[in-house]
Structure 1
Amino acid sequence: MTAVTNYQKIADLAVAALDWEVDFTPKPGLVDAISNGAHQDMDAALFHRSAASLHDYFVQLGAVAEGRAPNDLLREQIGSLGRTAEKRMFAATNGVNTHKGAIWALGLLVTAYWLQPAANSAQLLAIAGQLARIDDPGNESVTKQTYGQQAQHQYGIGGAQAEAQSNFPHIARLLELPLTTKDDWLRALLTLYATVDDTNVIHRSDLATLRFLQQQAKRIAQASEPVLKNSEFAGLADFTIEKNISPGGSADLFAATKFLKTLPKQDLAERSVLDYGKITFQL
């Protein structure tokens, strides 16, 4: 198997995780297979088109990162690839922001995989965090503030950048859960709703609305009955529509968790282009 084919295989898994996330149903406030959630400009077909547009981005990350260590040059290169991927996404969606957060989170994790393919999930999260903490000089050319930067300024809450720079603690928490049944994954999603300071929610409403959403989600996630049999779950979905809120940051982390769960546990058996035992860097 060639190196390019290997890059494509991991890219396939990243795109599949995005496709899985949008098809996972139900997801209060978010686009899923049967509902557009709190969105008037998005549907599942748009998300699938967006995900497909990112495949080359994930392939390119493998080609750039394989066999290297986290450093300033690599950070600059993957940042440039990410900005190009955003342009492709917007071209595929006619300007709708479907996967900007996923480009960031999954981009870091795909890169981390190619830096150390035999690493376990916790190690990959740490490598991704190390990458996220390196300044990207290309960001100086981006003048518009992200929702996370706005929330940081107004409320002292970090967004997607802070999550990554902290080694994705919310993903780490989900990976400790039993993720085998649909109810397991629903509880994982609600755990994200309950614990992530989702700047998408704040942008569409305010901090008080986010806190109420978190409290509701926490109660449902911790209840003993199956999520879909819990009468409060429907109420949570109604609340997201009433307040026009969409926990998009949680959706990105949900997809990233699925990606890590589907990665090969060991290096692909066919790969022989590098001696990965020689890859050493400090986490």
Structure 2
Amino acid sequence: MTGSHEDEELARTAVTALTEQLALTSKPGLPDPSHPDHHTLRWSAKALAPGLAAIAAAARRTGEPTPALRAELGAIARGTEHSVCLAGGGHRGALWTLGLLVAAAAMTPADVLPTAKRLAALPDRGAPRRPSRGSTMSAKYGAQGARGEARAGFPHIRRALPLLTESPASRRNALLTIMSTLRDTELLYTAGPHGLHHVQARAADILSTGGTDTLAGARALSALNTDLHERGWTPRGSATLLTGALFVASLRRETPVAAGSRAAGAPPYPRSSGRPRRQTHIAAGSRAAGAARVGAAAPGQRR
């Protein structure tokens, strides 16, 4: 493929990851196909594609993370955000995460997360100075937010990747694994710190039952979903990181991961559609969740 075709394919893969996340059901406190805004969210997700393709092209042309590239990507992202708003809005967090990952994939397909980390560490000097809701929550509660998550190399995406297969249950378990430790700034905004801890604990409890593909886990997931919707609590940061994990997983199905990347803690995406090593990985997620409940601070999502 030519560079332009490769850039368009990266953008399509990223948008597909977002639409697959939107289609997943049920997600506690999050929109799924039964939500009245689902069609609008899917439509506006498609509006990301031209901007993400432009991000990939700029990154491919530059070849490495530089301050000039970071400034160019920021300008492209702000234009893309305007287009998405015209198409119905939403997806600001997804644009940040997918933009970094698409740019990194265009430069170093075998080392997406380390390259995204380097890119996120560079300042965007053209960014608006007004605080976002996520940055306000980060400052108020000490959560690292989306920028902190990216600058740390997306640890929650790394944690989710080994769980993912093609099955919906594996994707729900990956989402719960993220929710169990992420200091989600959207949850901090809608639920406060006590609500955040409540959601983290409930997510960890579901994983400890064996995950959402057990009867007990499925019932607990349904109860948590009802609880969060009734309270108006929404873990959007966790959903965004699941989208990022689905994108990286798609790339790994197509491109072998370098041994160095695997050693750095980014295991390859399982090709099987079954549930490989489910109990091992769910237990690991539950242990991580337990650490969060005794005070371990994991990076959260900034919007």
Instruction: State how far apart, in whole Å, the 1-side matches of 2:45 and 2:52 are.
Output: 11
2:79 to 74, 78, 84: 84
- Alpha-carbon contact 1:148-1:158 (below 8 Å) kept: no
**Structure 2 counterparts to residues 1-283 of structure 1, below 5 A:** 1-35=1-35, 43-67=37-61, 68-93=63-88, 96=89, 98-117=90-109, 119=110, 123-139=111-127, 142-224=128-210, 226-227=212-213, 229-230=215-216, 231-263=219-251, 264-266=254-256
Unaligned segments of structure 2, at least 5 residues: 258-303
Structure 1 residue aligned with 2:264: none
Shift of 1:266: 4.9
Shift of 1:235: 1.7
Render the CA deviation track for 1:230-277: whole Å, top value 9, x for unaligned: 22222211220122011111111111111111112159xxxxxxxxxx
Identity of aligned pairs, percent?
Answer: 31
Normalised by the length of structure 2, the TM-score is 0.79
Shift of 1:2: 2.5
Shift of 1:182: 2.1
Q: Match of 1:206, SS?
A: helix
Unaligned segments of structure 1, at least 5 residues: 37-42, 268-283
Shift of 1:87: 0.7
Runs of 4+ in 1 over 6 A off after TM superposition: none
Structure 1 residue aligned with 2:283: none
Instruction: State how far apart, in whole Å, the 2-side matches of 1:226 and 1:72 are.
Output: 43
Q: Match of 2:228, SS?
A: helix
Instruction: State how far apart, in whole Å, the 1-side matches of 2:246 and 2:11 are.
Output: 13
- Alpha-carbon contact 2:26-2:222 (below 8 Å) kept: no
Instruction: State how far apart, in whole Å, the 2-side matches of 1:88 and 1:228 are.
Output: 42
Instruction: State how far apart, in whole Å, the 1-side matches of 2:28 and 2:11 are.
Output: 28
May I ask how many residue pairs the two structures share in their alignment?
252
Instruction: State how far apart, in whole Å, the 1-side matches of 2:130 and 2:211 are.
Output: 44
- Alpha-carbon contact 1:221-1:227 (below 8 Å) kept: no
Instruction: State how far apart, in whole Å, the 1-side matches of 2:211 and 2:240 are.
Output: 26
Instruction: Check 1:266–1:232 CA distance in 2 against 1; reply closer, same or farther (3 A cut).
Output: closer
- Alpha-carbon contact 1:227-1:233 (below 8 Å) kept: no
Q: Match of 1:66, SS?
A: helix
Matched letter for residue 219 of structure 1: D
Shift of 1:45: 0.7
Matched letter for residue 136 of structure 1: D
